[in-house]
Structure 1
Amino acid sequence: MHTVEHSYTSLPEPLHCTGSFDSRELRFLRAMVFAVEEINNSSDLLPGVTLGYQVYDSCTSIPMAMNVAIQLANGLDPMFDTGEQCSGSATVTAIVGESGSTPTISMLRIIGPFGIPQVSYFSTCACLSDKKQYPTFFRTIPSDQFQAAALAHLIRHFGWTWIGAVRSDSDYGNNGMAAFLQAAQKEGICVEYSEAFYRTNPLSRVQRVADVIRRSTARVVVAFVAIGDMRILLGELERLPSPPRQWIGSESWVTDPDMLRFSLCAGAIGFGIPRSVIPGLRDFLLDLSPQKVSNSPLLTEFWEGAFGCRLGIGTTTGVEEKVCDGSEDIQQLQTPYTDTSQLRVTNMVYKAVYAIAHAIHSSVCEERENSTVNCDKNLHVKPTQVLERLKRVNFSRNGRMPTGTQWPLMSWSTGR
C-alpha cells in the first residue's frame, strides 16, 4: 500500500496500491470470474438467476483490507436496471477471500457482526477455526494445524534433528510456527533459532534474519513464511551466498513456480494442496484482447507489465513509452497467470464460489415433482440465509476431477 505522511490540514487521499503485481493472485481472481460465469450459464445450478460480483485489490495490506470490509458493510452502490427484471441486493451476500490470514481476520472483525459469510481459499491460520471468534468464516483449504504436524513428521522421517526456523511475523506465520514447534518437540527435533520478520519491516530487520541463517550451524531451515515475505528473504540471502541449506517450505510458497528463480530453493520440499483440473479455465484465462483488458484496471496493469507497453497512452510524465499495438500474444506469455499446470489454490477459489452458489441455490430454488428446478429471481437473499446454508455444504469430491465434471460435487448435511 502507498503510504503518505498526514498533515491533518487537508482531507487524506484515498488508499491505493503500489509496487509489483502478483499475476498468480490475478489467476485466482479470474478463476472466481470463470466460476461465476459458468454458474450463470448453468441450467441446473441457480437456473435463471444471475450472480454478480465486485473485485477489490487489498494489495496484501491490512488497512486496505479493512477499508474494503467497511465498504462492503456499508452496502454496494445502487444498481441500474439493464432492461431485465433485476432484484439486486443492497448488501453483499458473501465474500470470497482473503488470501492472507491476517487481512482475513481484520475483515472478519468488521463484517462478522453483520452476518456476512466469508469463504477463504488461502487463509490457513488454525486460529480461524475458532467459531466463537469467527462464526461467519469458512474456507476450502485445510488449517495449518494439519500442515504443522505433517512437517514435523517429514523432518523426523529424514532424520534431521537440528534445524533452524523462520516465519512471517503475522497470524499465519506465528500461529503456524507455534504449532510446528510444539509438534517438533514431540518428535525430538531441536531448534537452533526461531526468527520472525514481515515485509514492511525495515531492511535491517530482514538482514538480521538473513545473517542468523548464514551464521547458524543448522543446515535445515523450516520456513513458515508468506510468499511476499519469502521473496524478500531469499533476495537478501542471495546477495551474500552462504553454505547451501535444505529448505522445508509451507504451502504458501513451496509450490509457487516463481520461487524457481532463486537458486537457494533447489530441492526445497514441503506439502502442497492437491493438484486439480478445471476444464475450460485455461482457455478462459487466455481469452484476453486489448479491448477486454482496457475495461479492467487490474488486467490493464497486468498486461502493461507483462508486455512492457502502454494501452492507448504513448507518454507518461513526459517519458516516451512503447504503445501496445495489438501484436502482443498472451499465448506465448510465461507467467504464473498463464500457468495452469498446477491448479492447487486456484481450485480452492473455484470451490469457494460454488459453495456460495449452492448456498444461494438452496435459499431461492426448489425442485418440483417433475424434477425441474424453479428459482424465485425476485427473492431478496439475506447474507444470514447464505451463512446458515453454507454450514451444510459438504464436498463429496476433492482433487482431480474427471473429464466432463463441470463443478465440484457437493452434498447437504445438517452438520457444521
Structure 2
Amino acid sequence: MATKFYQHPLALAFAVDEINRNPKILPNVSLGFHIYDSYNNDKMTYRTTLDLLYKSHSYFPNYECDTPKNLMAIIGGLGSETSFQMADILALYKIPQLTYGSFPPVDRDNSKLPSFYRMVPNETHQFLGLVRLLQHFEWTWVGLLAVSDDSGEHFLQEMVALLSKYGICEAFAETIIKQGGWESIQDIIDLFSNIYPALIGNNVNTIILYGETWSMVPLTTFLHLGDHELLRNTSLRWVWVLTAQVEFALTGLQRFWGIEFFQGTIFLSIHSKELPAFQKFLRNTKPYQAQGDGFLQDFWEQAFVCSLPNTEEISMVDGTCTGEEKIESLPGPFFEMHMTGHSYSIYNAVYAIAHALHALYLSHSHQKLIMSGGKRDGLKDLQPWQLHPFLQHVSFNNSAEERVSFNDDKEVEGGFDVMNLVTFHNRSYSRVKIGKVDPDALEGKELIIDEDRILWQSHFNQVVPLSLCTDYCHPGSQKQKKEGEKFCCYDCVPCPDGKIANQKDMDDCIKCPEDQYPSKGKDQCILKSITFLSFEEPLGISLASLAVFFSIITMLVLGIFVKCKDTPIVKANNRNITYALLISLLLCFVSSLLFLGQPTKFTCYLRQSAFGIIFSVAVSCVLAKTITVVVAFMATKPGSSMRKWTGKRLTYSIIFLCFLVQATICMLWLGTSPPFPDLDMQSVTTKIVAGCNEGSTLMFYSVLGYLGLLSLITLTVAFLARKLPDSFNEAKFITFSMLMFCSVWVSFVPTYLSTKGKSMVAVEIFSILASSAGLLCCIFSPKCYVIILRPELNRREQLIRRKN
C-alpha cells in the first residue's frame, strides 16, 4: 500500500468521530463507515463496490441475502477511472457518490450520472489556472507529461488547444504509464524511451505533469535510474508544474530515494485549510488502540519498517514495532501531518452527507418516526435515493469556518490553492501556499500569487526561471517567425524606421504619434520639439545680417543716385526706373525678414505674395530698362516708326502691366486659398516644423512660374541688345545680372523640393538675397564705381568721346 494515502481513511474517521460527538447533527444517531481498497485494479474496483452493497460474498442482483448494510452514501474514489467504474454500479441503485479527486468529465455528463457529486471544483478551472500561472511567469515553451488513460488524453487535447489560444507552445506532449498499468518489462522500456528523449532532448525548463499519484512512481524511478551525469546537469533546470491530482508519494521500494529533483515545484492543490484537531487526532493514532481498522497494521509496519508482534505468525521484517513510534516523524512522501487537499475533500464530504441526512431525517413527520427505547430509529426506513434533493442543496460552514455547497452541476464551489514544494535532505518536504486560483474573479485576474514566498531550485539563484523557445525580443525589436517551427520560436529583428517596440516580445512594432519620434534604441517615443528658423540661431542671424547689410547697401546706392541725379550716368536709361528698381530691391531684401521667426497668420499671409509682387516689379524695371535701350537704338535710324514709342509712357506701361499680372495672381491666391500657419509633423523626424502652409500649391508655383517667365523674357531681350552701339547701353550688365538671377531661381526649385523643415525657408531666403544682390551688384556696381571713384568719366563729353 501507499502509506501516503492512509491519511484519507483517517480523515474519514476523524470527521465521523466529530459528527458523532456533535449533538447538533443527527442527535442520538451514530454514523458508521466501511473502508475498501480498490487495489488500483478494475476488477477489484467492481468487486469492492459490490462488497459495499452486500454483506455476503455471494451476489444475487435485486435480492438481499443476509442482513443488509444500512448504506446511505459512498465517498470515492481518488482516480477518475475508479470513480467512474464505481458510478457504473452505484447509478443503478441511485446511491449518492461523492468523489474527492480532481478529474475531467471524459465524455460523461451529469445527466448520465445523476448520483455523482464532486467535492472539488471543475477541472476547467484548473486548466485555466495553469495557463494563468504560465502567463504570470512568462513561460511560453513548456513540456506536457500526462498519465496514459482517458483523463490524460483529455488533458493533452484540452491543454494544447488552450496553450495555443494564449500564445504558449508545447515543446513535447508525452504520456506516462502509471505503475498499476505496468504489465511487462516492455512497458517499462517504453516508458524510458518516451520520457528520456522528451526531457533531455528539448530545450525546455518548465514541465507540466498531469496524472495521479501513481504517475509519480515511474517518473521518480526514471529520474533516479537515468543517466546521473546528464540528469545532474539538466534536471535541476526543470521547473515542475503539477496538477491537483498528484501527490508526492514514494513506495517502500523507494524508501531511501529523495525527491530533490522536485525542489521548487509549483503545483495546484485542492483547496484545504488546516484543522488543528486533526493533527492531534493523528498523533493519538496507535496500532493497538484502533479496533476494526484492517489497514492500520499494514500502514504501521510499512511506514516504520518494523513488525507488530503477532504470536500466530513469524515476522519476516527486521525489528519489532513498539507501537509508540511517532507518526509525525515520518517523511512527507510517506505520510503528512498537515491535511492534504484530498483529505480535506473527504472531511467535507462526510459533513455534507451528515447535514443532508440530518435534513432528510427532520423532514419526516413525527408520526412516521419509529420510537425505540426513547430513541429515534427512523433512519432504517430511509433510502439512499431520498438523500439526493437534500444533498444537492446542502450548505454549511465546516469547522474551519469555510462555506461548503454544491452548484447546479453538483460540484463544490471554489478554486485551487497554488503551492510551492520545499525539499529537505532528510527526504521530507514542506508545502508552502503561495497563491490561489479564483474562478469567480474577473477575467485575467483568476490567479493570485506571491512570488516572494517561492523557493526555486538552487540552480536559478532565486531568480524567476526562463522557459522560452527563443530569448525575449528586447524593446526596440519585433518577432519574426521561423519557417517550419512553432510560433513561440522566432527571430528578433530591429524595428523598421519610424516604429518602436516599447515592450519585450512584441509581435509588431508600432508607429509613434505624429507629435513624437522613436528614440535611438527604438524602444520609446520622444516628444518632438517645435522648431522654426528663428532670429536667435546662427543661420537666422546670418541671413538676417545679410538682409540688413544689403538693405543698407541698397539705400546707400539709392542715396548716391539721388544725390547725383543730374549726372549723365544716372540720367541715362530713365532714372525714375532706376529709383523704382532700387526701391524694389530694397523691399526684396526687407521682405526676406518676413520668413524669419515663428510663423504667424500675418506673416504667412503676406510673405509669399509680397515676395512675388516686389520681385515682379524689380524684374519688370530691368525689362523696361532693357526695352528702353532697344527702342532708343531703333529710334535713331532715319524714318524709324519707333520714335513714337520713346519716352516714359512705354516704360511705365511695361512696369505696370507686369505688376498687374502678378498682383492679380496673388489676389486670386489670397482670396481663394491663402497661406496659413501650420505644424509639419512629417518632414523632420525629430522636430515639429512650425511653418506656413501655402494653401494652394498651384497658386504658389504660378507666382514663381510667372516670375520665371518674366525673368526669361528679360534675359532674352537683354542678351539680344547687349551689342547695340549706344553709349548708354547697360544691356551687358543686365544680361549678366539676369543670367545670375535665373541661375539662382533655377537652382532654387530642386533645392527647395529636396529640403525639409526650416531648411526650406532658409533656401528661399538665400535665393531672395542672392538674386536681389545679383541684380544690385551687376547693374549698379559699375555705375557706383564711376560715380565715386572715377567722377571724371561721369561727363557727357567723356561719354561722347568714348563713343567716337
Please state which band the TM-score falls in when normalised by the shorter chain: 0.7 to 0.9
Q: 1:271 to 1:324 in 2, by over 3 A?
A: closer
Question: Bigger radius of gyration, 1 or 2?
Answer: 2
Q: 1:256 to 1:413 in 2, by over 3 A?
A: closer
Residue 299 of structure 1 aligns with which residue? 296
Structure 1 position 334, deviation (Å): 4.0
Which among 347, 357, 360 is matched to residue 360 of structure 1? 357
Residue 390 of structure 2 aligns with which residue? 389
What is the TM-score of this pair, normalised by structure 1? Answer: 0.80
Q: 1:228 to 1:179 in 2, by over 3 A?
A: same
Contiguous gaps of at least 5 residues in structure 1:
1-20, 79-87, 369-373, 403-407
| 1:166 is the counterpart of 2:145 | yes
- Counterpart CA distance in 2 for 1:262 and 1:316 is 35
Would you tell me which structure has more helix in proportion to its own residues? 2
Residue 245 of structure 1 aligns with which residue? 238
Partners of 2:279 and 2:338 within 8 A in 1: no
What secondary structure does 2:208 align onto?
A: strand
| 1:218 is the counterpart of 2:204 | yes
| Amino acid corresponding to residue 130 of structure 1 in structure 2 | D
Which among 142, 155, 161 is matched to residue 134 of structure 2? 155
What is the TM-score of this pair, normalised by structure 2? Answer: 0.43
Q: 1:316 to 1:390 in 2, by over 3 A?
A: same
Deviation sequence 1:19-47 (CA, Å, 0-9, x none) = xx322311111111111111112111100
- Counterpart CA distance in 1 for 2:317 and 2:10 is 32
Residue 193 of structure 1 aligns with which residue? 172
Which among 269, 284, 290 is matched to residue 272 of structure 1? 269
| 1:28 is the counterpart of 2:8 | yes
Residue 344 of structure 1 aligns with which residue? 341
Contiguous gaps of at least 5 residues in structure 2:
58-66, 366-370, 411-804
| Amino acid corresponding to residue 72 of structure 1 in structure 2 | L
Deviation sequence 1:227-274 (CA, Å, 0-9, x none) = 111221132033224313222211123x64769932221222132223
| Amino acid corresponding to residue 262 of structure 2 in structure 1 | C
- Counterpart CA distance in 2 for 1:327 and 1:145 is 45
What secondary structure does 1:362 align onto?
A: helix
Deviates more, 1:323-332 or 1:292-301: 323-332
Residue 45 of structure 2 aligns with which residue? 65
| 1:179 is the counterpart of 2:158 | yes
Which among 281, 289, 302 is matched to residue 284 of structure 1? 281
Structure 1 position 326, deviation (Å): 4.1
- Counterpart CA distance in 1 for 2:405 and 2:144 is 41
Partners of 2:272 and 2:339 within 8 A in 1: yes
Q: 1:415 to 1:130 in 2, by over 3 A?
A: closer
Deviation sequence 1:378-406 (CA, Å, 0-9, x none) = 342211011232111235x58x925xxxx
Partners of 2:328 and 2:337 within 8 A in 1: no
Deviation sequence 1:263-306 (CA, Å, 0-9, x none) = 22122213222330224211212213332257533100011112
- Counterpart CA distance in 2 for 1:324 and 1:345 is 29
| 1:113 is the counterpart of 2:92 | yes
Deviates more, 1:43-52 or 1:313-322: 313-322
- Number of corresponding residues: 374
Partners of 2:103 and 2:245 within 8 A in 1: no
- Counterpart CA distance in 1 for 2:407 and 2:111 is 21
Deviates more, 1:40-49 or 1:342-351: 342-351
Partners of 1:96 and 1:119 within 8 A in 2: yes
Deviates more, 1:328-337 or 1:131-140: 328-337
Higher-RCO chain (CA-CA 8 Å, sequence separation at least 6): 1
| Amino acid corresponding to residue 401 of structure 1 in structure 2 | A
- Counterpart CA distance in 1 for 2:218 and 2:346 is 26
Q: 1:294 to 1:301 in 2, by over 3 A?
A: farther
| Amino acid corresponding to residue 164 of structure 2 in structure 1 | Q
Which among 120, 135, 143 is matched to residue 141 of structure 1? 120
Structure 1 position 341, deviation (Å): 3.1
Partners of 1:126 and 1:176 within 8 A in 2: no
Partners of 1:315 and 1:321 within 8 A in 2: no
Structure 1 position 336, deviation (Å): 5.7
Structure 1 position 120, deviation (Å): 1.1
| Amino acid corresponding to residue 377 of structure 1 in structure 2 | D
Q: 1:315 to 1:328 in 2, by over 3 A?
A: farther
What secondary structure does 2:128 align onto?
A: helix
Residue 9 of structure 1 aligns with which residue? none
- Counterpart CA distance in 1 for 2:287 and 2:138 is 54
Residue 42 of structure 1 aligns with which residue? 22
